[in-house]
Structure 1
Amino acid sequence: MRLIDTHLHLIYPDRLSYPWLANAPAINKPWSVEAYWAEAKPLGIEGALHMEVDVAEADIEGETGFVLGLPGIVGAIAACRPEHPDFPQQLERLLALGEGRIKGLRRILHEVPDEISQPALFSDNLKRLAEHGLTFDLCLRADQLHLGLDLARRVPEVTFVLDHCGNPPISGAGLDPWRAELKSLAALPNLRAKISGIVNHCDAGWNAETLRPYVEHVIACFGWDRIVWGSDHPVVTLTGSLTSWVEAIRQIVGAESPENQAKLFHANAERIYRLA
């Protein structure tokens, strides 16, 4: 079963600035596309969407333009600043870089005050994505999921993709209250869920059974037509590896029909991010 990775981070410190990496020493080094494909291709990954890596604001357009020229990158989800009045101009500049290969935008919300996404300016700016067919990825802590719910309600014309299953605290509080909040999010028809980025919430020594109740709850809430898969590489290496994550997710859904597995691993990504 071939895979499309909807959440690949590439890090090139010689070209771009990543201020947050100073607080993440384990991955504060180059992560090249060549090194990624050396591990990814034998696992059946055939294409990858680059997910913005929270570069310094001045490097947003530089990052987007650069990654679109790298091998195997089928599109980019670019960083943006919808809280700024000049967002419409930023959006036009980003779209000009991609010639149809900008598939969505993301503003990381778990590293900024909750108030950033609440003003009308933020949601009004996001409404502009609809006319271009762009998605908006939601990156929130588990205790912030209400912010995503509010934002998706205010901008029903845009498709939102919840990153990392809503970041359940697997090694902490566990399933609750994350489980009920995820169900509330899934009730909104313009929300999708990305099964990614959960192994870094696990203690060392996790396995497929550690992750199974979280993955299965996401699938039960969103259904097989509203989920995509992503690696979250290289963040996945904090407690595992790209290989161990791919092996685990294949094991978790291995009893499902080939049609459902195809939806998770590539077909939904092709449709939601307009790759086909």
Structure 2
Amino acid sequence: MNIIDPHLHFFDLVKGDYAWLKDNPPNWPNIEKIRQNHLPDALCSSAQFKLSACVHVEAGFDNHEPRRELDWLAEVLPTLPYKAVAYAPIDAEKAVFCDKLDALSYASLIAIRDITEGSDATRLLSKNVADNIALLHQRGCHFEAQFELVNLPIVQRLFDIYSTLPNATLVINHAGFMERSQSWQSAVDTLASIKNCVIKFSGHEMLNSPMCPKEQLAVLLDSFGEDRVMLASNHPVCLILRSFEQQWQHYFEVVSATAPSAWRKLSFDNAQRVYRFTY
């Protein structure tokens, strides 16, 4: 089966900084499986799932000079079609953010991610964020938001920004970290009302009490529809629970039990459209 993976990471711990992983690693199970080099060749040998293209999401290769990661990707991904989500501080002054984007001028660049989990989410309330998201849209890129959906002021802030940019794309990473015990339905409804908001079904391995995958997928499909949900591996972080191939097999089983006719859209078509892959 051909797939496009819209959220994975490759690591080269010698060439990149990765201070978050090398110096102060998260307290994740199987951290030693994650804290090593991860290169594309290892994912291209799957017997069941053919990686037709991928979206590489920044992984702290060098947050002082994010272009170094784009340079490195061009070396290690010469044949596999890919797009890059790079790092830039979304709350920077507009002139500074503009300079940061200028430094990232690369054909592979499709989006910016600036992780705003936990208390960091308050940075999305900065007055600069709206201008910077508008600038991204103007340049043919989009913003990938990574925060918890239970943070309703942030959800409302994003709704307000994108209400003024009806044609701009917003991508929500890791399904907004929805946990079983939380109240997230109003956040899901608000974000789904943004016409071009797309959400990734991924990141469950990082949660303390993840929802039943079938139930979560049903919620997302009910709110966003089959055209705005994307399956993503989060490789190599998925190694907390599963290998890359096991992750996609797990997704195939979840979709088969929930919405079997949607598999092609969730595993390929939606990512192809959002990240503008052409074949």
Per the shorter chain, which TM-score range? 0.7 to 0.9
Mapped contact 1:145–1:166 kept (Cα < 8 A): no
1:19-51 per-position Cα deviation (integer Å, ceiling 9, x unaligned) = 221223602222222223334x64232211101
- Counterpart in the other structure of 1:3: 3
- Counterpart in the other structure of 2:270: 268
- Counterpart in the other structure of 1:105: 112
RMSD between aligned residues: 2.3
- Counterpart in the other structure of 1:141: 148
Matched residue of 1:11: which SS? Answer: coil
Q: CA deviation at 1:16?
A: 1.1
Mapped contact 1:140–1:148 kept (Cα < 8 A): no
- Rounded to whole Å, the distance in 1 between the matches of 2:9 and 2:81 is 11
1:135-165 per-position Cα deviation (integer Å, ceiling 9, x unaligned) = 2111112433541441242144221101111
Structure 1 residues not aligned, in runs of 5+ = none
- Counterpart in the other structure of 1:187: 193
Query: 5 Å matches for 1:146-161?
Result: 146-156=153-163, 157=165, 158-161=168-171
- Counterpart in the other structure of 1:59: 65
- Counterpart in the other structure of 1:250: 252
Mapped contact 1:80–1:105 kept (Cα < 8 A): yes
Structure 2 residues not aligned, in runs of 5+ = none
Mapped contact 1:60–1:78 kept (Cα < 8 A): yes
Mapped contact 2:52–2:81 kept (Cα < 8 A): no
One-letter amino acid matched to 2:8: L
- Counterpart in the other structure of 1:28: 35
Matched residue of 2:45: which SS? Answer: helix
1:60-91 per-position Cα deviation (integer Å, ceiling 9, x unaligned) = 11112211332324111111112222110111
So what's the TM-score if we normalise by structure 2?
Answer: 0.85
Structure 1 261/68 Cα, relative in aligned 2: closer, same or farther at 3 Å?
same
- Rounded to whole Å, the distance in 2 between the matches of 1:154 and 1:73 is 31
Match of 1:128 among 109, 118, 135: 135
- Rounded to whole Å, the distance in 2 between the matches of 1:88 and 1:211 is 39
One-letter amino acid matched to 1:181: A
So what's the TM-score if we normalise by structure 1?
Answer: 0.86
| Count of aligned pairs between the two proteins | 263
- Counterpart in the other structure of 2:220: 218
Overall identity of the aligned pairs, in %: 22
Q: Does the alignment pair 1:201 with 2:203?
A: no
- Counterpart in the other structure of 2:102: 92
Mapped contact 1:135–1:273 kept (Cα < 8 A): no
